């Protein structure tokens, strides 16, 4: 009798790797290979045209030592608050509210709130550029209409406001995603838990922390991972709204990668920066995963 | 669970990785080097009609309105004249073209003719990589040196190693001229200013009348360079700016003249002579506000002529930004459109050069005028609009007197970003004029030191 017949059903078998092969081949060709090629290029001083010069890890040292890049990474962390923390908080609040009441036409609301995710980022950027325009922009005109004209600002042109302004676009973009994930998750929580909490006299706040939040652990992890990645690799929004300005106040790592590779002719340095950014994203995603898992065990 | 399959996976992954690493085991960019053929000396002899069946692949960025119209007409005319030549046109946007050119030209399937932007960032790097063909022999054969003003040819010249800019071999030829000048609203400004002092007087007048003196939006960054250079030309001799752009020995940015120019521009901001909230206003918003009558002046390039003429009719005029006192020589920021260049890998350099010649003859210039463009070479056909005629007149004067000053951002591969950032800081008062020139000089010195 063949050995494989001795195995219990569901036991891992070598042949499974054969099934993985097609997916792995595609992954290797379109993700791994370019990634490794970038890593290879990052070890050279290369302008993209003439022959590259081997510099080892110098490009990475430069990434660590460049104040412009430190500033860009700092901006990415600020965006993290707007793209990840705020949307998840808003999404949780909305999900908690919806868990306590029955809303008619919930699907319609969900669809509307999810729309920003569907619209192409270029459209989003152009639209928000119009909204933020100092003159005839929707935001400033709105403020003037309600008598708050003194608050009207040059939103994208101000050194202190430009980055938060872009960040708010990210919040608008992401909270719908978080909310849809969370409302779906809430429906999965057994109503008996809510009934039990209410019988025990829990108020809305207590109920949220005792029932809703633990029940949404996995969804929160997914939402945080997705939004964190979106925050750190932000490029389109910055490129299309401010071009990194004013005076570099909105430059972010992904934008610097583009600038260096395609405009400045520093392909090696850009590749090193890209690798660092990818590593940072990976570390953060793993950390989020870890924390969620640990929370699941306690 | 058995652990053995994991080992298989590890082997698999390792194999894949090893293969991949082997695949990219050469220094990047090393594959493309071929021995540079010794260029024959003396004027080239070109005979397109007897060149056999030729397909010429051309990458251009003439995609908007009148630009697209002229290139379509001229391409068709070229194919009619030489039935053995087919032009395969690849039209791309300006940004697209600039960012993909390097890759395209170092590949095996390179186009024959491309538009390669002037200056170090694009043309300079392509020349350094040996990806463009020097055209000096063709210039002699076709008489390009008589056709163009010297200052325009210099913008397309590099030494063969790409280190020296503004001299050496000719690498391209441009069809159109452009001036960054002063558009004015003729209702509020019946006669344009002739001196810098007169201009500032009119700005002060506008301020007193409660009008916006200069329509300006700097959200996109580059308008700041244009406005700075407009003011700079009133303080800094054109020679100094040209030397800086061409990186001639001893050139620097932190000169007393540039500090004075930066100081004056900062004063314009402080006096409220620019659109309020200019930092958050886009370029398009700024010129559209000007077209609606919000702003008496607009410092902008002649590429806006068609749009402004359409919206404002005869309510708009154009002069070079006045830079000196009465009778002073005119100076203006300007140059020419993206030059057409012949690639090193083209198999038909003669036909390619003849095509470029065809695009820049006086016959072609007439087509340019008919399609609302400003030809770089002299032409006797007047533009259809009064605004177009103003521009033609300014162009003739400026090129005859060799009075054009090149864009500062040609100077180094990263100068565009360095400058836009520095100017945004200067205008916002985050850096003093002296600090501004020091910052820019720092970036400039870093590049020049590596030359």
Binned at pLDDT 50, 70 and 90, residue B1 comes out as very low
Q: In the numeric block, which tokens belong to residue A193?
A: 């838990």
Q: Say if the Cβ atoms of B424 and A262 lie within 8 Å.
A: no
Q: Answer whether B281 touches A (CB < 8 Å).
A: yes
pLDDT of residue B149: 87
B217 three-state secondary structure: coil
Which residue from A44, A157, A265 is facing B277, i.e. has the nearest CB?
Answer: A157
Q: Answer whether A159 touches B (CB < 8 Å).
A: yes
Which residue from A52, A132, A265 is facing B125, i.e. has the nearest CB?
Answer: A265
Which residue from A32, A40, A264 is facing B413, i.e. has the nearest CB?
Answer: A264
A3 three-state secondary structure: helix
Q: Say if the Cβ atoms of B417 and A245 lie within 8 Å.
A: no
Q: A137: closest CA among A101, A98, A100, A165?
A: A165
Q: Answer whether B270 touches A (CB < 8 Å).
A: no
Core vs surface per residue B13-46: b (16+ CB within 10 A) or e = eeebeeebeeebeebbbeebeeeeeeeeeeebeb
Which residues in chain B are closer than 8 Å to A41, comparing Cβ atoms? 28
pLDDT of residue B5: 53
**Side-chain half-sphere exposure of B113, counting CA atoms within 13 A:** 32
Give B 174-233 residues with CB within 8 A of chain A.
218-221
Q: Say if the Cβ atoms of B20 and A17 lie within 8 Å.
A: no
> A261 near A271, Cβ under 8 Å?
yes
Q: Does residue B274 register a pLDDT over 70?
A: yes
How far A175 CA sits from the closest chain B CA (Å)? 26
Q: Does residue B373 register a pLDDT over 60?
A: yes
Q: Summarize the confidence of residues B308-322 as an average pLDDT.
A: 92
Average of per-residue pLDDT values in chain B: 88
DSSP code at position B156? T
Residue A281, Cβ neighbours under 10 Å: how many? 18
Sign of CA dihedral B407, B264, B253, A247: negative
Residue with tokens 């081949």: A25
pLDDT of residue B384: 82
Q: Summarize the confidence of residues B339-347 as an average pLDDT.
A: 94
**Side-chain half-sphere exposure of B305, counting CA atoms within 13 A:** 28
Residue B89, Cβ neighbours under 10 Å: how many? 15
H or E stretch at B199: helix B196-208
- Closest alpha carbon within chain A to B130: A50
Residue B227, Cβ neighbours under 10 Å: how many? 24
Residue A128, Cβ neighbours under 10 Å: how many? 24
Sign of CA dihedral A73, A74, A79, A82: positive
pLDDT of residue B12: 55
Q: Rounded CA gap, B346 and B384, in Å?
A: 38
Q: Does residue B232 register a pLDDT over 60?
A: yes
Q: Summarize the confidence of residues B222-245 as an average pLDDT.
A: 95
Give A 189-208 residues with CB within 8 A of chain B.
none
Q: How far apart are the first and last CA of chain B?
A: 62
How far A237 CA sits from the closest chain B CA (Å)? 13
Q: Answer whether A256 touches B (CB < 8 Å).
A: no
- Displacement of CA B7 from its chain's centroid (Å): 58
Average of per-residue pLDDT values in chain A: 88
* Single pTM value for the model: 0.88
Residues 6+ apart with CB under 8 A from A182: A91, A92, A94, A95, A216, A219, A220, A223
Q: Rounded CA gap, B82 and B59, in Å?
A: 20
pLDDT string in tens for chain A (298-residue length)? 445 556 677 677 788 889 899 999 999 999 999 999 999 999 998 888 888 889 889 899 988 888 889 999 999 999 999 999 999 999 999 888 877 777 777 778 888 888 888 889 999 999 999 999 998 899 999 999 998 888 888 899 999 999 999 999 999 999 989 988 998 888 888 888 888 988 998 888 888 888 888 889 889 999 999 999 999 999 999 999 998 889 899 999 999 999 888 888 889 999 999 999 999 999 999 999 898 888 777 6
A54 three-state secondary structure: strand
- Displacement of CA A285 from its chain's centroid (Å): 10
Q: ipTM value, please give it.
A: 0.84
């Amino acid at each position: 009798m063949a050995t494989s017949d001795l195995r219990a059903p569901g036991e891992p078998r070598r042949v499974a790797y054969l099934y993985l092969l097609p997916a792995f081949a595609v992954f290797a060709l379109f993700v791994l290979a370019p990634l490794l090629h970038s890593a290879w290029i990052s070890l050279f001083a290369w302008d993209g045209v003439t022959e590259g010069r081997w510099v080892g890890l110098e490009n990475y040292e430069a990434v660590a030592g460049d104040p412009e890049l430190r500033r860009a990474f700092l901006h990415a962390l600020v965006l993290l608050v707007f793209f990840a923390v705020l949307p998840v908080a808003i999404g949780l609040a909305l999900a908690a509210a919806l868990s306590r009441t029955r809303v008619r036409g919930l699907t319609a609301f969900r669809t509307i709130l999810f729309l920003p995710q569907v619209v192409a980022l270029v459209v989003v950027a152009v639209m928000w550029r119009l909204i933020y325009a100092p003159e005839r922009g929707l935001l400033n005109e709105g403020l003037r209409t309600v008598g708050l004209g003194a608050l009207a600002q040059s939103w994208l042109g101000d050194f202190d406001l430009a980055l938060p302004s872009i960040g708010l676009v990210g919040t608008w973009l992401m909270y719908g995603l978080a909310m849809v994930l969370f409302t779906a998750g809430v429906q999965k929580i057994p109503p008996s838990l809510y009934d039990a909490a209410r019988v025990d006299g829990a108020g809305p706040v207590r109920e949220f922390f005792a029932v809703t939040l633990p029940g949404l652990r996995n969804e929160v992890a997914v939402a945080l991972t997705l939004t964190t990645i979106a925050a750190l690799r932000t490029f389109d929004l910055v490129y299309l709204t401010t071009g990194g300005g004013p005076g570099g106040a909105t430059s972010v790592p992904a934008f610097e990668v583009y600038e260096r590779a395609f405009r400045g002719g520093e392909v090696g340095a850009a590749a090193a920066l890209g690798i660092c950014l990818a590593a940072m994203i990976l570390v953060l995603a793993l950390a989020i995963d870890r924390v969620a898992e640990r929370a699941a065990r306690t | 669970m058995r652990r053995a399959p994991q080992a298989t996976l590890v082997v698999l992954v390792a194999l894949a990785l090893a293969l991949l690493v082997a695949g990219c085991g050469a220094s990047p960019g090393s594959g493309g080097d071929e021995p540079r053929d010794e260029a024959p000396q003396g004027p080239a002899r070109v005979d397109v009609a007897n060149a056999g069946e030729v397909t010429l692949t051309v990458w251009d960025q003439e995609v908007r309105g009148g630009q697209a119209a002229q290139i379509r007409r001229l391409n068709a005319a070229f194919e009619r004249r030489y039935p053995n030549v087919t032009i395969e046109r690849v039209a791309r946007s300006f940004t697209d073209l600039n960012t993909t050119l390097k890759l395209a030209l170092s590949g095996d399937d390179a186009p024959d003719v491309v538009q390669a932007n002037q200056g170090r960032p694009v043309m300079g790097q392509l020349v350094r990589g040996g990806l463009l063909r020097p055209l000096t022999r063709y210039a002699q054969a076709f008489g390009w040196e008589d056709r163009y003003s010297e200052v325009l040819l210099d913008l397309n010249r590099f030494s063969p190693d790409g280190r020296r800019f503004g001299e050496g071999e000719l690498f391209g030829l441009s069809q159109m001229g452009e001036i960054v000048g002063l558009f004015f609203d003729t209702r509020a400004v019946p006669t344009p200013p002739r001196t810098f002092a007169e201009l500032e007087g009119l700005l002060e007048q506008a301020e007193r009348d409660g009008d916006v003196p200069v329509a300006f939006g700097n959200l996109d960054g580059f308008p700041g360079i244009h406005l700075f250079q407009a003011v700079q030309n009133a303080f800094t001799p054109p020679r100094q700016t040209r030397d800086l752009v061409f990186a001639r020995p001893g050139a620097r940015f932190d000169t007393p003249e540039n500090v004075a120019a930066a100081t004056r521009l900062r004063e314009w901001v402080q006096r409220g002579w620019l659109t309020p909230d200019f930092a958050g206003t886009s370029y398009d918003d700024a010129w559209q506000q000007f077209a609606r009558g919000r702003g008496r002046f607009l410092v902008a390039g002649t590429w806006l002529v068609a749009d402004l003429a359409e919206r404002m009719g005869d309510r708009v005029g154009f002069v070079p930004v006045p830079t000196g006192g009465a009778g002073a020589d005119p100076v203006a920021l300007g140059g020419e459109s993206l030059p057409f260049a012949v690639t090193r890998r083209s198999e038909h350099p003669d036909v390619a050069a003849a095509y470029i010649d065809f695009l820049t003859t006086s016959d072609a210039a007439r087509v340019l005028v008919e399609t609302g463009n400003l030809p770089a070479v002299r032409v006797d056909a007047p533009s259809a609009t009064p605004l177009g005629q103003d521009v033609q007149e300014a162009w003739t004067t400026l090129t005859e007197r060799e009075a054009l000053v090149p864009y500062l951002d040609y100077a180094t591969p990263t100068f565009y970003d360095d400058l836009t950032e520095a100017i945004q800081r200067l205008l916002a008062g985050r850096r003093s004029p002296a600090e501004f020139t020091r910052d820019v000089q720092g970036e400039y010195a870093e590049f020049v030191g590596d030359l």
